[in-house]
Chains A and B, each alone.
With several copies, the nearest count.
Chain A
Amino acid sequence: MKKQIKTILIANRGEIAVRIIRACKELGITSVAVFSSADRSACHVAMADEAYFIGEAPSSESYLVQDKIIETAKKCQADAIHPGYGFLAENAEFAGRCVQEKIIFIGPKAETIELLGDKIKARQKAIEADLPVLPGEEIDVANSNDALAKAESIGFPLLIKATVGGGGKGMRVVKSAEHFNESLIRASSEAKSAFGDGRVFIEKFLENPRHIEFQILCDTYGNVVHLGERECSIQRRHQKLIEESPSPVMTPELRQNMGEAALKIARASNYIGAGTVEFMVDRDLYYYFLEVNTRLQVEHPVTELVTAIDLVKEQIAIAENKTLSFSQDDISFSGHAIECRISAEDPQQGFVPSTGTIQDYRMPSGPGVRLDSGVESGSEISVYYDPLFAKLIVWGKDRSEAISRMKRALEEFRISGLKTTIGFHGIVMENENFVSGDFSTKFIETEFPNYEFEAADDKTIETAAIAAAIDKFKNESRINLQNGKSSRAAISTWSLYHRQRNMKKFSGSR
């Protein structure tokens, strides 16, 4: 039964909330934002049609509180809730509660989220659906002898992974048997504290893999399509930094095979909505199922740019029980798209988060440039949430044009008031191995050990020196003019020296 959605509550914040609000506005759907005390004046609050306060700044008191979100949805008579990514997006309990409350959850069914959220069960489902997986086994942390035996049968290096959860937490690479037990205990305890579930499993570790994922869309009538791949190998601590589509190593045959594999697990898990099937790909282009993300991904725009399909609008159409308006054969890929995640972090200092108020905010634009941003001039970047605040996405007729366009757009992008990853991305765009497409998930640690990036070149330093001198000259001329002296009269060096010393008394020590 088709149902027209009139009002959507967006249970998220930042750039993804803005992204969903934009889709709602274009569809004539009322958009409802929720906000914590840290987000009273945030972009998503200002842009939504309606906005309601749901609690204090820590997400555990606001964006993660299911009761408050459901209560707000009922108050504003929302037909549906869009969870975005993160927060409650992959929470099966929340998806189930929405159904109970007769609110459409824009995402897969609760049981699908639960099944695919458990990596052991998802792996089992993948094996049943005939997808290639890496050798691996579930292990009992309490039984260390048995665990070690299983590890040795798989062989080192191997990867210990949390059964539930993601984002690199509860994950350890183990190079040899001697470190296995210690790593096992640490991974399990990390998983327990991060996800409340200390179960872990082990998997063969690929040395220099690529991370390639497939976007899928499935309607409620069993129609399933894939929208091609995203290359997401440029990562740091398992956090993606740069994504692109197509992958530089993709071939039409491989795309067809991997796409078909993605659809197999979608069918096997009765998938509904937009989702992502992640694979590891080795140097010989053998691929292995990794996991399914049962949500809209951060990097969805690169797929939108090469397929011209709006994924958020498709999610909403599927939630309205509409039939997919295209089949696999209707989907074509045009050109090349790259996304750079713009975060409030200082790459020079090991990507330490940088908080503060955005002063100037000059957005890049022009041909082939899209910015999905959750901030504007005057916005506050607080310590409470993810440092990702914008995504810069470009389209080019080929990879080379996309790279040159991204460089141009990064150059135009100006933010003052805090440190960002804009400059870092500019350096990656000029990196030889990135440009040639020859990289793996090890790219960042191999190319930038210790996070040491090229400093400013000599010409730029000289320019800065001249700029400072001109600036000082202008200021002194102004002071001289104010004092009634000619702008050419040289100020006494001694009097200036004393004046400076006096000033320092008031401005504090340096």
Chain B
Amino acid sequence: MAHYLVNANGKEFDIVIEKSGDSYRAVVNGREQTVESSSTGKSKSVMLVDGNSHEISINSNGYDNSRLVTVGGIEIELEIDNFRLAQLKKAAGNGTGKAALKKIKAPMPGLILEVKVNSGEKVESGQLILVIEAMKMENAIKSSAAAVVKNVAVSKGQSVEKGDLLIEFE
């Protein structure tokens, strides 16, 4: 038996997993469900939750708590932690309660056309951060969550490679 705390899209799930024959018993926020899970390839599986079928793929990097889970083609980023550990972390003010936005990296090589934020500025989810020109198109880079800008690593007119750090948040 194991007890986890999962944070996804701002929602918290308290999940207890227990093996039961070939399947699993999952108690999710108090509601019990039967889960079957069969691997179909590296990081891919078919998962049946009370019979409902889902194609799952999970990307993780070892002990890191963040996962990119794809359910039937829809991507969901989440954090998973052992329940007690999560509570200890929370108590220590280091909670996984919110998947905090840490940095923005260049999604492609290109030219920085505009930088719309400054260091120390508070940004809202969806706010325009900067504009990159690539493939002859202007591409708006927006914040995916509310955060405070710690450092603006690029400036207007600068060329960037894919993966270059653009913005760091507090």
Contacts and interface: CB of A to CB of B under 8 A. Distances in A.
B140 A416 contact: no
B63 A499 contact: yes
B166 interface: no
A487 B60 CA distance: 22
B56 A423 contact: no
Given A40-B38, A53-B36, A470-B47, A353 B54 contact: no
Contacts of B6: 465, 468-469
A456 interface: yes
Interface in A305-356: 346, 349-355
B28 A456 contact: no
A40 B24 CA distance: 14
B57 to A, nearest CB: 6
Interface in A405-455: 411, 413-414, 416, 422-423, 426, 450, 452, 455
A346 B139 CA distance: 10
A470 B140 contact: no
Contacts of A455: 9
Most A CB atoms within 10 A — which of B54, B78, B102, B140? B54
B144 to A, nearest CB: 8
Given A387-B135, A422-B73, A510-B66, A470 B37 contact: yes
B58 A471 contact: yes
Nearest to B59: A416
Given A349-B107, A411-B73, A470 B62 contact: no
Given A350-B142, A465-B13, A467-B71, A378 B108 contact: no
Interface string B1-38: 11010101101010101010010101010000101111
B117 to A, nearest CB: 16
A510 B88 CA distance: 19
Contacts of A237: 137
Interface string A42-68: 000111111111000000000000000
A465 B108 contact: no
B97 interface: no
A100 B134 CA distance: 37
B107 A352 contact: yes
Interface residues of B, number: 73
Given A47-B53, A510-B66, A465 B139 contact: no
Contacts of B105: none
Contact of B107 (A346, A466, A504): A346
A487 B56 CA distance: 23
B64 A510 contact: yes
B58 A349 contact: no
A510 B100 CA distance: 10
Interface stretch (A174-182, A285-293, A488-496): A488-496
Interface string A471-502: 11110110000000001101001001101100
Interface in A24-44: 32-33, 40-41
Contacts of B64: 503-504, 507, 510
A383 B109 contact: yes
Interface in B52-99: 52-58, 60-67, 69-74, 76, 78, 80, 82, 84-85, 88
Interface of A: 32-33, 40-41, 45-53, 76, 237, 346, 349-355, 360, 377-379, 383, 385-387, 411, 413-414, 416, 422-423, 426, 450, 452, 455-456, 458, 460-474, 476-477, 487-488, 490, 493, 496-497, 499-500, 503-504, 507, 510
14 contacts: A51-B46, A350-B140, A350-B142, A352-B139, A383-B134, A385-B135, A455-B9, A456-B71, A456-B76, A466-B15, A469-B17, A469-B26, A473-B4, A507-B61
